[in-house]
Amino acid sequence: MRTCPLMLLCLFLVLVVCAKSDPDPLQDYCVAATQSSQTFFVNGAPCINPANAAPSHFTTTALSKPGNTAANPLGFNVTLTNIRNLAGMNTLGLTMARVDIAGNGLVPPHTHPRASEVTILIKGSLLVGFVDTSNRLFTQQLREGDSFVFPKGLIHFLYNLDSKAPALSVSGLTSQNPGAQLASAATFTTKPSIPDDILKKAFQINGQDVSRIRKNLGG
């Protein structure tokens, strides 16, 4: 009995529609270990026997203490949960963050390539915002108790409007490993360096500007 080509096409379309896409990666890249003797690597962390799970695996004090904003020239500190300080979050697809920002401190424009973020202001006053792919800026001044959402992969920032008092916010991110890439550092502090001619043309600056920015950013 011959199979009708139309039936095969319909079956193929059904399989395509019903098939699930690959899960989002938890790292920037995963080079295939074709020559390695290692049996396998997992995209995350292996699990303990569920029978050995305890309440302590699902709680953490990692976000209870202020971060050291003085150690950062921009005046901010981010403390994250991870599988080492909150083992129960493994495979749940989320991360929590405590963000301490000194007076006039700035969390500079950055992206999370694998996560959307929602932040709630606990203390202080913040100006927050993100830029969409049409270069439209969405910005808002937050007061205590206000929340703001940063869509996945878009450049965003948090700025403490108060010149003296610190600000504190808590964020939730929709990935176990959201990643963070500062726009300035990703451009001017790469190893090896992006060629000067590219940076001069892209930012319409001269060679001295490139050198000065690299130096200021520690590149």
pLDDT tens, residue by residue, 139-189: 999 999 999 999 999 999 999 999 999 999 999 999 999 999 999 999 999
Regarding whether 152 and 64 lie in a shared domain, the answer is: yes
**Greater confidence, 75 or 13?**
75
Domain count, the chain: 2
151 and 210, same domain (yes or no)? no
Q: Are residues 153 and 74 in the same domain?
A: yes
Query: How many CA atoms are closer than 13 Å to the CA of 152, on its beta-carbon side?
Result: 11
Of residues 114 and 24, more confidence is placed in 114
Same domain, 202 and 99: no
Confidence of residue 2 (pLDDT cuts 50, 70, 90): low
User: What domain range includes position 156?
Assistant: 60-179
175 & 202 share domain: no
- Kindly report the number of other CB atoms within 10 A of residue 6's CB atom: 8
pLDDT at 21 over 80: no
Tell me what the pLDDT averaged over the chain comes to.
88
pLDDT value of position 47: 84
CA distance 175 to 116: 8
pTM score, whole prediction: 0.84
Q: How confident is the model at residue 215 (pLDDT cuts 50, 70, 90)?
A: very high
Angle between helices 207-216 and 196-203 (to 10 degrees): 100
Asked if residue 115 is part of any domain, the answer here is: yes
Q: Residue 34's pLDDT is what?
A: 65
